[in-house]
Amino acid sequence: MIVRVCVPGPCSPNPCLNDGQCEVVSEKRRGDVFSHYYCVCPPEVTGEHCETNINECQVKPCQNGGTCSDLNGDFYCTCPSPYVGKSCQQRCTSRLGLEAGGISEAHIRASSVRYTFMGLQRWGPELARLNLKGLVNAWSPAPHDREPWIQVWFSGAGRLGYSEFVKLLKFHQNRSVVCRRGCTLRLELIGCELNGCSEPMGLRSRLISDSQISTNAWTAAGTDQNQWIQVDLGASKKLTGIITQGAKDFGHIQFVTAFKVSYSQNGRDWSLVKDQRGQDKIFAGNTDNNVHKKNRFEPALFCRFIRVLPWDWHGRITLRLELLGCSQ
Statement to judge: residues 103 and 176 lie in one domain: yes
**CATH for 282:** 2.60.120.260
Q: What pLDDT sits at residue 8? A: 66
Count of the separate structural domains present in the chain: 4
Nearest residue to 48 via CA among 56, 36, 40: 40
Read off the pLDDT of residues 270-303 as tens digits, 9 standing for 90 and up: 999 999 999 999 999 998 888 888 898 988 899 9
Statement to judge: residues 140 and 167 lie in one domain: yes
Alpha helix ranges (H) inside the chain = 175-178
Q: What pLDDT sits at residue 264? A: 95
Read off the pLDDT of residues 201-249 as tens digits, 9 standing for 90 and up: 666 556 566 666 665 456 777 788 889 999 998 889 899 889 898 888 7
Neighbours of 127 (CB within 10 A): 20
27 vs 71, higher pLDDT? 71
Q: Could you tell me the residue range of the domain that residue 44 belongs to?
A: 21-53
Work out the average pLDDT over 26-46. Answer: 68
Statement to judge: residues 184 and 103 lie in one domain: yes
pTM: 0.52
Q: What pLDDT sits at residue 307? A: 95
Read off the pLDDT of residues 230-242 as tens digits, 9 standing for 90 and up: 999 888 989 988 9
**Is the bond leading into 148 cis (omega within 30 degrees of zero)?**
no
Cβ within 8 Å of residue 89, ≥6 positions away: 63, 64, 83
Measured between its terminal Cα atoms, the distance across the chain in Å is 66
Statement to judge: residues 222 and 320 lie in one domain: yes
Q: How confident is the model at residue 167 (pLDDT cuts 50, 70, 90)?
A: very low
